[in-house]
Structure 1
């Protein structure tokens, strides 16, 4: 038998899967970790413990549980949360914790300064994206200004996936899809690193070598093999961001295919026909040369359900809390008896890009129940999602197929509310393993063991969530949008 290995580092958990070249899963493993919030607006991971330590643990667990000989693993692919910012020294050792993606807003001042200096139109034209908390360039400038000693010692700036690939192979690489988030240091037209927009951020030789995600970055070194239990010389792909691997896992391949990932955040990827540049959404080259993708993401989604369980439903057994809350919410009618929730508990990413946005539960009276509140929370996330899908529609990018994936697909209320509020049917595939499964497919693709269209056989359709034609959320959605607009100045002023 021939196998491929996929491992994904998520915000709160690392997951891995061992798959044969027919797509059969032979072992799964996971390990949890925390997102560190050292101060409001910051979000970090520990690279040694949360990224490499988790990779080693999960890899060894997969080998032990499956009994597969490491020599039978023909390729490895990694994905991870992204885009992150991690400075490393000449020996590849991290100089600080990894600064996470758009949930970390520490570089707000640098985002504004660079935008004013370069001009938003120029940035969008050259980089494909407006500068936001998702952008890595401003975070590197923040490092230079606030941690000059660390900046001076920096040999390379890595992201989470490139850190793993470096540990496995010794190669310092990054895939184009991830690199597009390094604005204003990546030009989407030339698909290369550039410094003519801002030459004071970082010398370009401190950025990783660019590859496509189906290219082999290098091979497992003897040191990495000893640590992880792999065979020396095993090919390792360039990897990518977790959401892209997750999209691949459910068959996002043709223009018009859209993935909606239900996780700690909602993340959306649309395989676009051509480059679509708009400040409300993100653009990147897709995983394969000559292809395009448009992206969007909410800042807090599944995280909110955990917050609600931990703080509003403390009386419930944690093991049964979510089914109980779902039953309570199901007893509340659509519209949650007039409650509206803004799901901006960590600011918001697309389409408003407002790190000062705040969460809000509006319309409470003495008749409301916990079920009403939980339904309002689920519907609030769905309204935030519709704000994104409506933005895509305005840009002429409505999906032809929407494929739902992630742990949240087990939440029937969340899925149905999202279809009812957006008006879009959703396809759920048989396997909801997620990004690690997409990694395993990408590894097989990189060594020529499968073709791209084979993903439909690896992961066929299981069911379709159909939007209820009688559901009328238009008025509630208009109020949702007004509620943000009429309170955003207050949200900014209270800090």
Structure 2
């Protein structure tokens, strides 16, 4: 049965393993209906679909058809769940993990779908967590330092293996034919908008944070030639006029309307990144308000009216989150992934049996057991580098460490130490911003890990500051829907739309002073290990990785 809802927008959030569509009331941000589509291929980490050939370590690919299927299945189901008619939808917007980037033909066809390329790994989309381009990232940094590239400071002095140029250079070095055949090198955030409108569009956000676009330009051909002479023309594969966030990218094509069940001609907003778009959902757009989007990894997003060089940040971009301010990004490569690893590898069968008897997950069982301990009771301190370090070291060839293990160490001890390590990593990022002159005045959290109350309280205790929460489980999709409302003309700008449609619960967690004091001592130990293994005191993690590969 169809109900008489007012105007709505649709936000579509493309995550690591699935995509989610959310229908939102333009008037006040009420969430009316949602649907999720799990990717058929998930993350391609071991072998290409239909192939027995193994992928090397640190690879993470995706199949673009999985993204189209989100439009085909999740959007119609969300509309049905909301009970709204297609004519009530005034706009649609998307967000994506980033840097998730793919080679394509000039008409937008992914190279992996072109005859003769399905069995070539480099023809597929490289997911954000594809870290195999670390040597290329290192080479880019060295060349930038030696040639005095001014843009390097905007990225904290380091370029990540996750970003566009490093991944493209890896393609050129390892499969020059794929590189030559790729007429476009495009973020998935822009490619999916292309699928909706039938017209190519590029957004300012991914270009700035993932594509080294600063002050109106990409790195020049002379610089790229320092890396390889045949890399000098790379920018031509991604150079395209950039669109401001919250503006229309075009109108929904007839083909996309048939795919999604929406009306042809519906406004389609410019693409965006999942973390950055969530700032609007959390009402975290003002200077000094840091938002941590906590899931498999964590992204830290903050706006400021101050331009500063913050060591190890992922980038600072003018208008990168909201027009008129400098948008900063930092992050941790592994958080939820690390806890999942602990459950998968350190919890014995009897823990799984106990969890089944109690009707809870092993995560919940370990959390309860860990929460019963005093601070420091496990005698452990860990480094949260199982997926490398994004900020502030920007080195994805670092690895995890747990110090203090004994024959008495239990799974819940390890689980708690890893929770604490991720909190220490966040504190390191906050302190680095403040030491660089960028004040962090408020801290808000969003994402799937908010369900773990013990984890969130630990973060408040380690940070020694209150934590606000995004009062929605659909942060990126809600943020996308807010941007769709702006693009459709329902609000004059992102700030006003965020104020009307966003959700925030202030001071949901406050620090316990006694626990905070105890964590200060443990954090000092974390910092010592962080600097020793991450800043050249002992390069053993790199040597071990070299042996493995």
Bin of the TM-score, shorter chain as denominator length: over 0.9
Indicate the SS of the match to 1:172: coil
**Pick from 54, 69, 74: which aligns with 1:58?**
74
- 2:511 and 2:162 map into 1 onto residues whose CA distance is 31
What's the counterpart of residue 64 of structure 2?
A: 47
Structure 2 distance, partners of 1:116, 1:312, is 39
Q: 1:127 to 1:173 in 2, by over 3 A?
A: farther
Deviation at 1:120, TM superposition (A): 6.7
CA shift, 1:413, in A, is 1.2
The match for 1:474 is 520
TM (normalized to structure 2)? 0.85
> Equivalences for 1:332-371 in 2 at 5 Å?
332-371=373-412
Determine helix, strand or coil for the equivalent of 2:461: helix
1:482: how far off? 2.1
Q: Which residue of 2 aligns with 1:284?
A: 317
> Which structure 2 residue ranges, 5 or more long, are not aligned?
1-5, 46-54, 112-122, 226-230
Structure 1 residue 66: Cα displacement: 2.2
Structure 2: distance between partners of 1:123 and 1:333: 49
How far apart, in 2, do the equivalents of 1:409 and 1:131 lie? 30
Of 133, 156, 168 in structure 1, the residue corresponding to residue 196 of structure 2 is: 168
2:116 aligned residue: none
In the other structure, the counterpart of 2:118 is: none
Quote the Cα distance in structure 2 between the aligned partners of 1:132 and 1:279.
Answer: 13
Q: Offset at 1:251?
A: 0.7
The Cα offsets for residues 100-120 of structure 1, whole Å up to 9 and x where unpaired, read as: 22x322222222222222327
Task: State the SS of the aligned residue for 1:189.
Answer: coil
Match of 2:228 in 1: none
Q: Please tell me the root mean square deviation across aligned C-alpha atoms, in Å.
A: 2.1
Aligned-partner SS, 1:364: coil
Deviates more, 1:329-338 or 1:372-381: 329-338
- 2:117 aligns with none
2:157 is the counterpart of 1:140:
no
Contact 1:219 1:236 in 2 (8 A): yes
Contact 2:280 2:502 in 1 (8 A): no
Structure 2 CA distance, aligned partners of 1:214 and 1:191?
21
- Which stretch shifts more, 259-268 or 320-329? 320-329
Question: Residue 285 of structure 2 contacts residue 303 of structure 2 at CA under 8 Å; is this kept in 1?
Answer: yes
1:254 corresponds in structure 2 to 286
Answer with 311-320 or 106-115: which moved more: 311-320
Q: What residue is the counterpart of 1:85 in the other structure? A: 101
The change in CA–CA distance for 1:161 and 1:192 in structure 2 (over 3 A counts) is same
Change over 3 Å in CA distance of 1:246–1:351 after alignment to 2 = same
**Among 99, 110, 113, the residue aligned to 2:126:** 99
1:406-417 equivalences in 2 (<5 Å): 406-417=447-458
Distance 1:125 1:88, change over 3 A: closer
Rounded to whole Å, the distance in 1 between the matches of 2:297 and 2:464 is 20
Any idea what SS the aligned residue of 2:431 has?
A: helix
Whether the aligned pair in 2 keeps the contact of 1:212 and 1:288 (CA below 8 Å) is no
1:126 is displaced (CA, Å) by 6.2
Give the SS at the match of 2:378. Answer: helix
Give the conservation status (yes or no) of the 8 Å contact 1:84–1:159.
Answer: yes
Q: Which residue of 2 aligns with 1:223?
A: 255
State how far apart, in whole Å, the 1-side matches of 2:450 and 2:332 are: 16
What's the secondary structure of 1:269's corresponding residue? strand
Please say if residues 306 and 438 of structure 2, whose CA atoms lie closer than 8 Å, have aligned partners that are also in contact.
no
Structure 1 residues 374 and 117: alpha-carbon distance in aligned structure 2, compared to 1, 3 A threshold: closer
Tell me, yes or no, if the aligned pair for 2:310 and 2:432 is still in contact at 8 Å: no
Query: How many aligned residue pairs are there?
Result: 491
Counterpart check, 1:427 vs 2:454: no
Q: Alignment partner of 1:270: what SS?
A: strand
Query: What are the Cα deviations for residues 193-229 of structure 1, in whole angstroms up to 9, with x where unaligned?
Result: 7545325344544224311111111111111111222
Tell me the equivalent position of 1:455. Answer: 498
Matched residue SS, 1:75: strand
In structure 1, the partner of 2:328 is 294
Structure 1: stretches of 5+ with no match in the other structure: none
In structure 2, the residue corresponding to 1:475 is in which secondary structure? helix
Q: 1:111 aligns with which of 132, 137, 161?
A: 137
Check 1:98–1:201 CA distance in 2 against 1; reply closer, same or farther (3 A cut): farther
